[in-house]
Amino acid sequence: MRIAIVDESPARASVIQEGLAELDDCEIFVVSDRNGLLARITEIAPDIVLMDLGNPSRDVLEEYFAVSRVLDRPIAMFVDESDEESIAASVEAGVSAYVVDGLAANRIRPLLDLAVRRFRAFARLQSDLAEARGQLAEREAVDKAKRILMDSRGLPEPEAYGELRRTAMNQGRRIADIAEAVITAHELMGKT
């Protein structure tokens, strides 16, 4: 596992490193310079990112949130103090674990596990949502294609669907693909 620790303070970064010392088969990278942070993290290609920000200003916090929005990795963020706005912004930015006043070596491993599990759970939800949206879009395309066939050929709904289904089976394609072709052909004929 590749772990990136982002911390401008070497002393605080060493606390995180100490908490990770018991992990086997682990490469740890410490990034202490905010300049070029995203490029450096991209170069490291970590499996997880641990950010220790101490008492960041709003600008610094927003800068780190911008980085976390781009990364598709579990992120645990440690801060000394926080407010509701910062917590909400961290969730929106994709931070998997936002820990307030909790930087201690013995807490690092459980928080690392928590961040990874939350990230995976969220990724599954995102995947399920994308799949549901895709199915809904396909259903809408099939319904639109049925309406086109019903209007242009005077077919009842079951026959229009049967026509789409037969064509899909004969061509070895999905009904949604045939529906898209019907819609495109209809639009090309100028009958929208």
Q: Please state the domain count of the chain.
A: 2
Is 175 inside a domain boundary?
yes
Q: Looking at the predicted structure, is the pLDDT value of residue 64 above 80?
A: no
Is 108 inside a domain boundary?
no
Is 110 inside a domain boundary?
no
- Mean pLDDT to the nearest integer, 160-184: 96
Is 29 inside a domain boundary?
yes
Residue 180 has a pLDDT of 96
Is 9 inside a domain boundary?
yes
Helix, strand, coil % (nearest 5) of the chain? 60, 15, 25
User: What CATH number has the domain bearing residue 82?
Assistant: 3.40.50.2300
d(CA 16, CA 99) in angstroms, rounded, equals 13
Is 122 inside a domain boundary?
no
Is 19 inside a domain boundary?
yes
Tell me how crowded residue 114 is: count the other CB atoms within 10 A of its CB.
16
What are the pLDDT digits (tens) for 121-155?
988 998 999 999 999 999 999 999 999 999 999 99
Is 124 inside a domain boundary?
no
Range of the domain at 136: 129-188
72 and 138 belong to one structural domain: no
| 55-74 as b/e: b if 16+ CB within 10 A | ebeeeebeebbebbeebebb
98 and 150 belong to one structural domain: no
92 and 21 belong to one structural domain: yes
What are the pLDDT digits (tens) for 90-113?
777 778 888 887 677 888 888 888
92 and 147 belong to one structural domain: no
> Model's pTM, two decimal places?
0.66
Q: 27 pairs with which residues across the strands?
A: 2
- Are 48 and 70 spatial neighbours (Cβ–Cβ below 8 Å)? no
